[in-house]
Structure 1
Amino acid sequence: MWELDLLLIPFLEHCYDGLDEEDKASYRALIAGEDQDLFGWLMRREEPDSAYKRIVELIQAHAENADNDPRRPI
């Protein structure tokens, strides 16, 4: 899903390297899941499974950060 790419790729590019090993493992497990589940969780339509709650919150927080707007001039 294109919408997921807009959230997951920037997080991967900007945040993944700074995560601890547990969060990295959660991210890898998360993206191996079903797109419909990921979409519902990341769009706050559904509560994520407890195993993914922290990584989903980190991705959401990164997406909501105004500094991540690709239209914003540098």
Structure 2
Amino acid sequence: MNDDASAAAAQRKRLYWHSRRGMWELDLLLIPFLEQRYDGLEARDQAAFRALIGEEDQDLFAWLMRREWPEEPERRRIVQMIVEHAENTDNDHYRSL
């Protein structure tokens, strides 16, 4: 494996572990989005996702449960993408939240 591939694999593992939050509701939204959509995102949206998972759980919960929206446009955009992904997939758990 070359250095680029191993660096990408290491980053992917970090993203996965940072997406596991300890709150079941957040795990149900972040992990499927990472696994199913992250690789297809534009670089700016990937960067927004990486920044988003650095936020506090209570902020993520409020945003992803649509109780409030982030003020920053890039953050709001990635949150909306995650919410829409959950709504458009066969995710019965999300609908019950």
Q: TM-score range by the shorter chain?
A: 0.7 to 0.9
Corresponding residue of 2:75 = 52
TM-score by length of 2: 0.67
C-alpha displacement at 1:68, in angstroms? 3.1
Bigger RCO of structures 1 and 2 (CA < 8 A, at least 6 apart): 1
CA deviations on 1:20-71 (whole Å, 9 max, x unpaired) are 1100000000001100000000101112132301000100000001x43379
TM-score by length of 1: 0.86
Contact preservation (8 Å) 1:42, 1:56: yes
Kindly report the root-mean-square deviation, in angstroms, between the aligned alpha carbons of the 2 structures.
1.6
Structure number, greater radius of gyration: 2
Contact preservation (8 Å) 1:62, 1:68: no
Aligned residues: 70
- Residue identity (%): 63
Determine the C-alpha separation between the residues in 1 that align with 2:55 and 2:48. 11
Task: Structure 1: give runs of 5+ residues left out of the alignment.
Answer: none
- Residue 39 of structure 2: which of 17, 32, 37 is its match? 17
TM superposition outliers: structure 1 runs of 4+ over 4 Å:
none
Task: Structure 2: give runs of 5+ residues left out of the alignment.
Answer: 1-22
Determine the C-alpha separation between the residues in 2 that align with 1:3 and 1:70. 12
